[in-house]
Structure 1
Amino acid sequence: MSIPGLLFSVLPSFFYRQFFVTPPTPTKDCTGQTYIVTGANTGLGKEAARHYVRLNAEKVIIACRSIEKGEAAARDIEQSTGRKGVVEVWQLDLSSYENVKQFAERAKGLRRLDSIVENAGISTSSFKTMEGNESTVTVNVISTFLLALLILPKLQESAQRFNITPTLCIVSSEVHFFTSFPERKAPSVLDQLNDEKQARMTDRYNVSKMLEVLACRQIAAEHPVKQLKVTLNFVNPGFCHSELMREMTNLPIRVMKKILCRTTEVGSRTLVHAGYGGPETHGKYMSDCKITTCATLVEGKGGLEMQKKVWQELAAKLNQIEPGITKTLDA
Structure 2
Amino acid sequence: MAGMLTYFPSFIYSQLFETPPVPTTDFTGQTVIVTGSNQGLGFEAARHFARLGANLILACRTVSKAEAAKADIEKTTGSKTIQVWELDLSRYDSVKAFAKRVQGLERLDAIVENAGISTMKFAEAEGNEATITTNVVSTFLLALLVLPKLRESAKKFNIVPHLTIVSSEVHFFTTFPESQADDIFAELNDPKKARMWDRYNVSKAMEVLICRELTELLASPTSSRKPFVILNFLNPGFCHSELANELGMPVKVLKALLARTTEVGSRTLVNAVEAGKDSHGMFLSNSKVTPVASWVTSEYGIKAQKKLWKQFAPILEKIQPGILVNI
Paired AA for residue 191 in structure 1: A
CA displacement, residues 163-183 of structure 1 (integer Å, 9 cap, x when unaligned): 111000000000000002111
SS of the equivalent of 1:61 reads: strand
Q: Matched residues in 2 for 1:64 and 1:323: separation? A: 25
User: How far apart are residue 315 of structure 1 and its match?
Assistant: 1.1
Mapping of 1:1-331 within 5 angstroms?
Answer: 3=1, 5-57=2-54, 59-83=55-79, 85-223=80-218, 224-225=220-221, 226=223, 227-228=225-226, 229-248=228-247, 250-329=248-327
Query: Which runs of 5 or more residues in structure 2 are unaligned?
Result: none
Q: Matched residues in 2 for 1:232 and 1:17: separation? A: 24
Q: Matched residues in 1 for 2:208 and 2:162: separation? A: 16
Deviates more, 1:141-150 or 1:309-318: 309-318
User: How far apart are residue 301 of structure 1 and its match?
Assistant: 2.6
Q: Matched residues in 1 for 2:187 and 2:181: separation? A: 7
> Identity of counterpart residues, as a percentage?
56
Deviates more, 1:150-159 or 1:253-262: 253-262
Q: Is the 8 A contact 1:124 1:247 kept in 2?
A: yes
SS of the equivalent of 1:18 reads: helix
Paired AA for residue 113 in structure 2: E
Deviates more, 1:130-139 or 1:295-304: 295-304
Q: Matched residues in 1 for 2:18 and 2:153: separation? A: 35
SS of the equivalent of 1:233 reads: strand
Q: Matched residues in 1 for 2:113 and 2:125: separation? A: 19
* Number of matched pairs: 323
Q: Is the 8 A contact 1:141 1:211 kept in 2?
A: yes
Q: Matched residues in 1 for 2:167 and 2:173: separation? A: 13
Paired AA for residue 64 in structure 1: C
SS of the equivalent of 1:117 reads: strand
Query: Which runs of 5 or more residues in structure 1 are unaligned?
Result: none
CA displacement, residues 241-296 of structure 1 (integer Å, 9 cap, x when unaligned): 11111222x43332211111100000000000112322211110011110010001
TM-score for the superposition, normalised by structure 2? 0.97
CA displacement, residues 193-218 of structure 1 (integer Å, 9 cap, x when unaligned): 01111110000000000000000001
Q: Is the 8 A contact 1:115 1:276 kept in 2?
A: no
Q: Is the 8 A contact 1:167 1:278 kept in 2?
A: no
Q: Matched residues in 2 for 1:148 and 1:275: separation? A: 15
Paired AA for residue 78 in structure 2: G
User: RMSD of the alignment, in Å?
Assistant: 1.0
TM-score for the superposition, normalised by structure 1? 0.95
Q: Matched residues in 1 for 2:249 and 2:136: separation? A: 30
Q: Matched residues in 1 for 2:14 and 2:93: separation? A: 39
Q: Matched residues in 1 for 2:274 and 2:315: separation? A: 29
Q: Matched residues in 2 for 1:295 and 1:103: separation? A: 33
Which consecutive aligned stretches of 4+ in structure 1 deviate over 4 angstroms post-superposition? none
SS of the equivalent of 2:307 reads: helix
SS of the equivalent of 1:198 reads: coil
SS of the equivalent of 1:197 reads: coil
User: How far apart are residue 151 of structure 1 and its match?
Assistant: 0.7
SS of the equivalent of 1:298 reads: helix
SS of the equivalent of 1:202 reads: helix
User: How far apart are residue 132 of structure 1 and its match?
Assistant: 0.2
